[in-house]
Chains A and B, each alone.
Chain A
């Protein structure tokens, strides 16, 4: 089989993996490559997703038969496998030409988890040790592999991740009968402990070998099973806390299989807007000091797809608004729809020199189309603005119209 054919098969098999970020690392000093703390997007695919890393599988030959997965053993697909050398050479060729920021290596489970992990680690070892590559490497830890092998993978990679696949153990038992919940959380714990040990040693010894210095992430499929948004967000929040994850990724289920347990592929459209709203909420958890309990309550367990979650929260807490931009503290400003960390910091910096009016907010680059309903400048709101709750709601949903219009029909399938 030609390398081009292999690349096509193993890219096609890897494309549903979400995490294509190259952030969090600070590696340099090799013969080729350097990582940037903020990551770097090298291209954007026709679906609008960022291409940062060469995202491929080591192999798509799999001994498991997970119902939701395109690579399940019962699926009739062309199968291929990279040799470690082929993969390392391909990565170097692409990296030199600035096509990519590094490698994202995942794999189906060929033979058993140990053998799979070993082959992956062999490819990374050629890159790191033989070629002196210090670009970004994200590797998937394979649940069920020997801890010593996962350890080796972590020494070579910048980031490790374990997919929790589905948001609850009930769905997992239903759709992925070969994977047990504990198999997934055990490597997660091991990676967490490995990272903690590395950080502790780094303080004491200069030449501590690194272990997943860009941290750990995970992903789950949304829309294949019936969990609520509240359940998903609470789970993410819990994992950020207990496993110190850098990111939790969500992937809207794309029908790749027919099964009585899954939504029928015929009338199913991937819940893209729901995925988008979940990411917006995830941002609120990580950068805006929100808690999942504030965004969603037991009696409203799903996100309102018409509005972004921050506007939604604000509309349900109108008693906290409007906020005076000249006096509000950083955290209060962050809660205003339309103001983010950069905007809030610019307001604080400018406020030291002058009192702010709407004109100066515009000059600072604050976008007022949402914020205007929730702030005052010197005690005044924009003259002539509708401020009754129904009026605000109508105006805010109108702003979202372009994102919602083409998908609104399909969304109603899920919000019911």
Chain B
């Protein structure tokens, strides 16, 4: 544990904001014990310091993660920030602090590293699930899909969908973290999306959905009916956004 005095930071919740916090903590030699993203209310015993996001500082910290430690370390930190690990900023900061001040523990069973690798494994597994389970609908030539992931999977899904549909225009909406992946003309952006109101899909779209449901119903072999096996591979939390389990408005 560091000998630096402990403190608490409030920041804007972005990755650049978090990296600014890291930079600030090293500049003032304070050890943030608590991070407060916007919207969260928590009484802290430590003096609370609001941190303004500083893009230049964030960039410098981001580069330092690779230069001082390694590229895989930087990736671990970036991925960790996308996970749904409770109080993830604090756990990530602990490891960043170790990496930038001491040698990083190499032992994969070290608890501080383990908590991040487990969270990342959960994140990447969820992203792998969504590569298959995302369903798009055609709204006048633009494809729209919605998901409700526990982790922020959009950055991991981005290369996958952009590469496989280079000539399409699509929007993938993450309803939980209220952001969307926009893709058109071979360019992409991830931007906040508060709410998304969709029109009633047109006739061609409804027909395509009906065909898919028909295929889905028919492909199962009745003699092998095994709902438990299906549930293991395709947990119910994914069903809500999947065409084969939905009914269309009449």
Contacts and interface: CB of A to CB of B under 8 A. Distances in A.
Interface stretch (A26-34, A239-247, A302-310, A327-335): A26-34
Interface string B222-246: 1111111110111000000011100
Interface in A70-106: 90, 93-94, 96-99, 101
Given A94-B212, A353-B106, A43 B221 contact: no
Contacts of A52: 132
A33 B164 CA distance: 4
A190 interface: no
Given A43-B234, A346-B108, A363-B114, A15 B218 contact: yes
Contact of B164 (A34, A47, A364): A34
Contacts of B136: 96-98
Interface stretch (A5-13, A122-130, A388-396): A5-13
B37 interface: no
Interface stretch (B50-58, B86-94, B137-145, B183-191): B137-145
A314 interface: no
Interface string A31-42: 111101000111
B221 to A, nearest CB: 5
A215 to B, nearest CB: 21
B126 to A, nearest CB: 14
B155 interface: no
Assign chain B's interface to a size class.
35 or more
Interface stretch (B8-16, B72-80, B165-173): B165-173
B118 to A, nearest CB: 8
A205 interface: no
Interface residues of A, number: 53
Contacts of B226: 46-48
Nearest to A346: B108
A295 interface: no
Nearest to A31: B167
B135 interface: yes
B148 to A, nearest CB: 16
A97 B108 contact: no
Contacts of B131: 36, 40
Contacts of B233: 41, 44, 48, 50
Nearest to A51: B219
A4 to B, nearest CB: 6
Nearest to B224: A47
B215 interface: yes
A15 B222 CA distance: 10
A55 B214 contact: no
B215 A3 contact: no
B220 interface: yes
B142 to A, nearest CB: 11
Nearest to A32: B165
Nearest to A40: B132
B109 A15 contact: no
B146 to A, nearest CB: 12
Given A43-B234, A44-B230, A4 B109 contact: no
A353 B108 contact: yes
B134 interface: yes
Contacts, number: 140
A51 B215 CA distance: 10
B182 interface: no
Given A48-B233, A96-B138, A349-B108, A7 B214 contact: yes
Contact of A47 (B108, B109, B221): B221
A135 B225 CA distance: 29
B219 A97 contact: no
A101 B108 CA distance: 35
Contacts of A41: 132, 233
B103 to A, nearest CB: 12
Contact of B109 (A42, A46, A363): A363
Interface string B158-178: 000101111110000000000
A272 interface: yes
A266 interface: no
Given A8-B218, A40-B131, A350-B108, A46 B225 contact: yes
A255 B224 CA distance: 12
A43 B133 contact: yes
A254 interface: yes
B163 A34 contact: yes
Nearest to B137: A97
A254 B224 contact: yes
A12 to B, nearest CB: 5
Nearest to B111: A363
A15 B243 contact: no
A54 interface: yes
Given A41-B233, A43-B133, A98-B136, 12 more contacts: A11-B219, A32-B165, A34-B164, A44-B229, A96-B165, A97-B136, A97-B243, A98-B132, A101-B132, A349-B108, A350-B109, A353-B107
Q: Which 3 A-B pairs have the closest CB atoms?
A: A48-B229, A45-B220, A47-B224
5 contacts: A15-B219, A15-B220, A44-B230, A94-B208, A97-B143
Interface of A: 3-4, 7-8, 11-12, 15-16, 28, 31-34, 36, 40-52, 54-55, 90, 93-94, 96-99, 101, 135, 252, 254-255, 269-270, 272, 346, 349-350, 352-354, 360, 363-364
